[in-house]
Structure 1
Amino acid sequence: MEQAKVELLVMDAKQADEQAFTELFQYFNPGLLRFSYKICHNEQLAHDAVQNAWIKITKSLKQLQDPRAFKSWAYQATRWQTLDLIKHYAKERALQVDEPIEALAQTLNEADDVLLHHINELPDIDKHTIHLFYLEQMSLQEVSLILEVPVGTVKSRLNRARKLLKQKMDN
C-alpha cells in the first residue's frame, strides 16, 4: 500500500471512520504479528501482544500528530506490548517456544529456511534490526524509532548482523 493511502486512512480513522481503521488493521496486522513473534517466539503471546497494541492504538489514535508516523508508531506499540507480556508471563511461568507461525513457515523455501535459521541464531538486538529492516522493509529512521536507538546504532547493528550472517552462510 502506498504511503499516501496509509496517511489518508490514518486521517479518516482519526475521524472515527471504521472502514479506514479496518483497512489499516488488515494491512499492518500480519507484519505486527511477525514482528511480535520474532521478539517472543511464542505464537499465542504474539497474538495477545498485537491485540493489546491495537487496543492502545485505537484509544490513542486521535493523539497521533503526524499520519506519516503511523507505521513506526504501531510497531513501537507492538514492541512495548510484547515486552510487557513477556515480563508478565515470565513471572507466572517459563515461556515455552512454539512452532513457527505456520503461514510464515509455508512460504519459505529451503534457502530461505537456512537463512531464517541463521537469522534466528543472531543476538536479539541484531535479529530484531534485521527483521524490521529487511523482512518488514522499514527505513533506517523507522527502525530507529521502533527500537528506540539512534540511526547510527541501527546501521552498526545491520552491518554486524550482515557480517555474522555471511560467516554463518560461508561455513
Structure 2
Amino acid sequence: MELLSKEEIDQSESQYSFTKLVEKCSPPVYKFCRSLTYSKEDADDLFQETFLSAFEQQTKLLQSDNPQSFLFCITLYLWKSIKRKYARRNKIAPFEPVQDNIISTLNTENDFIKQEEIDMVRHLVTLLPEKYKVPILLYYTIDLSVGEIAKVMKIPVGTVKSRLFKARKIIEKELEDTQHEK
C-alpha cells in the first residue's frame, strides 16, 4: 500500500472542496446564465465555460470569502466577452435570432394577457443598458441582495440601489407608454 504525499492529500481535499462547491452553487449560477442569455443552449455554454474557468482558478475560488459571488463575477465577465465577440461578428454578418420562447397552449384570455405582460417586461429588460440590466437580473432572478450585487459587479452599494431604481422607472415608464398606445 502506497502512502500519499502531502501534495497529493492537499490536491484531493481541494478537488473534494471544489466538487462540493460546484454542487452547491450550480443551480443559482445556471439560473443567472439563463437570465443573461435567454436561451437554453447559450446558457448551457456559458455555464460550462464558467465552471471550466472556475476549475482553472480553483485556488482563488476556494480562498474567496464568497465563492458564489466569485462564480457570478466569472459568469458576468465571460458573458460580456461573448457579447463583445457577438457584436463584432454581427457587424460583419448580421442575422435574425429565432424566438425560442413560443407560447404553448393557453387556455384563457387572462393567461394570454399575463403571458403577454411577462414577455413585454422580459423584452424591456433586454433593451435596458447593460449597467441597468445586470443588477435587475441579479436581483430578481438570482435573488441576490444589494450588497452581493455590489460585490459581483465591483461597484458601491449606493450605485446598485440607484441602478435598480432607475431600471424599474424605465420599465415602468415603457409599460405605461405601451398601455396608453393601446
Q: TM-score, normalised by structure 1?
A: 0.70
Report the RMSD for the aligned CA atoms in angstroms. 3.2
Deviation for aligned residue 1:55: 0.7
Deviations 1:67-118 (A, max 9, x none): 5x12211111011112223334444554646345649x77x83332222122
Q: Tell me which amino acid in the other structure corresponds to 2:33.
A: L
Identity between Structure 1 and Structure 2 (%): 22
Deviations 1:27-81 (A, max 9, x none): 234213224416xxx76554433322211111222323245x1221111101111
Give the equivalent residue in structure 2 for 1:115: 121
Give the equivalent residue in structure 2 for 1:130: 136
Give the equivalent residue in structure 1 for 2:23: 23
Q: Tell me which amino acid in the other structure corresponds to 2:45.
A: D
One of 27, 33, 57 as aligned partner of 2:54: 57
1:130 and 1:29 map into 2 onto residues whose CA distance is: 15
Give the equivalent residue in structure 1 for 2:68: 71
Is the 2:46–2:79 contact (alpha carbons within 8 Å) kept by the matching residues of 1?
Answer: yes
Bigger Rg, structure 1 or 2: 2
1:72 and 1:25 map into 2 onto residues whose CA distance is: 10
Deviates more, 1:54-63 or 1:17-26: 17-26
1:169 and 1:88 map into 2 onto residues whose CA distance is: 31
Gaps of 5+ in 2: 1-11, 105-113, 178-182
1:101 and 1:25 map into 2 onto residues whose CA distance is: 26
- Aligned to 2:172, the other structure's residue is in SS state helix
Number of matched pairs: 153
2:132 and 2:58 map into 1 onto residues whose CA distance is: 30
Q: Tell me which amino acid in the other structure corresponds to 2:83.
A: I
Gaps of 5+ in 1: 1-12
